[in-house]
Amino acid sequence: MRKISNYGMEVAIGAIFVVLVFLLYVGLPPAILVMGLLMFGAIFLFTRSRGGLAMGAAGKKAATRKPEFLTFEDIGGQEQPKRELTEALDFLVHREKIQKLGIRPLKGILLTGPPGTGKTLLAKAAAQYTHSAFIAASGSEFVEMYVGVGAGRIRDLFKEARQQALKLKRDSAIIFIDEIDGIGGKRDGGQHREYDQTLNQLLTEMDGVQGDESVRVLLIAATNRKELLDSALLRPGRFDRQIQVDLPDKSAREHILRLHARNKPLSPDASLGKVAEETFGFSGAQLESVMNEAAIYAMREQSETIGSEHLSQAIDKVMMGERMDRETTREERERVAIHELGHAIVAENVRPESVAQVSLTPRGQALGYVRHHPQQDSYLYTLEFLEQQIMIALGGAVAEEIFYGGRSTGSRGDFDQATNIVRTMIESGMSDLGIVHPEALTQEQWSEENGKILEELTGRTRALLGKHKETFEHLLAHLISEETLTGEQLRRQIKLQAA
């Protein structure tokens, strides 16, 4: 396979020929001519290898390497994207039927969604489903500083896909381009000729202006930034189907966990359903990491099975990072304990039975944390829910103010969370500003409304925690000595104080 486009080879050969004629014209000795020839030959070979570097990954190596045997049944969750994709792929499988109904074959399928949701896995399963030749590439492999190189690689990619299909005696090929926003970004009319030519060549190939139509090529692309793509790429006739691949819900999470637990020995007390409940917002990649980390924890303890405690530790690891061996002073541990108890007491008051554990174990950048019992998967939030979430976030800082008369830098992340929720409230028309376009607000209006909401909720949080000073005092020594406090112990103490 040629490593660079024919255009690039012709330019290089032509340049060498012109230089040799010039050297003969000026009458240089033969030795210099030979040296010049060797020099330009070396430059040509270097250019040839440079031009084919990314194509080697996107073309020949990817084409000759068969994709791993992967079916849609091996992909957990994502039932709706799998149905949409299967329907689109049937146009490749049942050619006679679509010809009878006069259906135009699809040229491209765009998979959009957050990272780690399984877009690449869906593309591999699509190749297996259609028995097509499969080539994978990344958008960044076609970006070069030299004009025309990226366009040449696009041509070679489609050419190699057709050749590979013929070699395998198949009538279709699937090209998968991950992170297509690297080459398919919006054209702004500037001087980025390399990007424009690469995108133009991709559009031409998708239109089928050039190439052997006996082999049907389907382009599947993935991106998590669809808004950055050029409108010419998204129009019908190019990416005919745009399939949203979202984060999995509870049942899908359990399905994914069971798939990744097939080769792992689970103990009888390990409940994947409970893990699915506790991992709201996790992607498929994060769930796979949970199962892998749980197996690592079991190996560290020389356990023959993976227990519930290993799964719990793995969730904390994926969510917050590895446990750190940080040496803290007694004063710091006491302040962290007060801070985390503030979060937990507020949470237990506004949402009873919600706290699972309070811990002083440092993980990632956090010196302590509160784990909550899983809530039901929710996608719509009321004003009351958002205000409660802000109060929980402010609970740590308010508790420090009550006991120490001031705050610490440990509240920075809590304040970021609180202000982000306030922004959601304002943009959703839940503030006193009413329904207003966010861009119509000045910075002063944003600051004023943000300050007013946070001040009111801070006051409510301070009043709530002021009623539970005895709860702090009874639980503080236990939390410092044991490093953990269960939700049941917290609730028991709150009930004793209430009585």
431-487 pLDDT per residue, tens: 988 888 888 889 999 999 999 999 999 999 999 998 888 888 888 888 888 888 888
Higher pLDDT among residues 213 and 355, named by residue: 355
Q: Residue 27: which pLDDT band, with cuts at 50, 70 and 90?
A: low
* 175-201 pLDDT per residue, tens: 888 888 878 777 765 555 556 778 888
* 423-439 pLDDT per residue, tens: 999 999 999 888 888 88
CATH number among 1.10.275.10, 3.40.190.290, 3.50.50.60, 1.20.58.760, domain 330-498 = 1.20.58.760
Contacts of 198 (CB under 8 A, 6+ apart): 142, 143, 150, 151, 153, 154, 183
Contacts of 176 (CB under 8 A, 6+ apart): 120, 123, 124, 127, 134, 135, 136, 137, 220, 221, 222
Higher pLDDT among residues 139 and 83, named by residue: 83
Q: Find the length of the chain.
A: 499
Residue ranges of the domains in the chain? 6-51, 65-244, 250-320, 330-498
CATH number among 1.10.10.10, 2.40.10.10, 3.40.50.2020, 3.40.50.300, domain 65-244 = 3.40.50.300
**Domain 250-320 CATH assignment equals 2.60.120.620:** no
Contacts of 313 (CB under 8 A, 6+ apart): 293, 294, 297
Which residues form the catalytic set? 340
Q: Which two tokens stand for residue 397?
A: 């800082």
Q: What is the DSSP string of 46-63?
A: HHHHHHTHHHHHHTHHHH
Q: For residues 392-421, give the mean pLDDT.
A: 90
- For residue 39, the model assigns a pLDDT of 67
- For residue 451, the model assigns a pLDDT of 93
* 343-376 pLDDT per residue, tens: 999 999 998 888 888 888 777 667 778 877 666 6
Q: What percent of the chain has pLDDT over 90?
A: 20
Strand order of the β-sheet with 369-372 is: 369-372, 355-359, 484-486
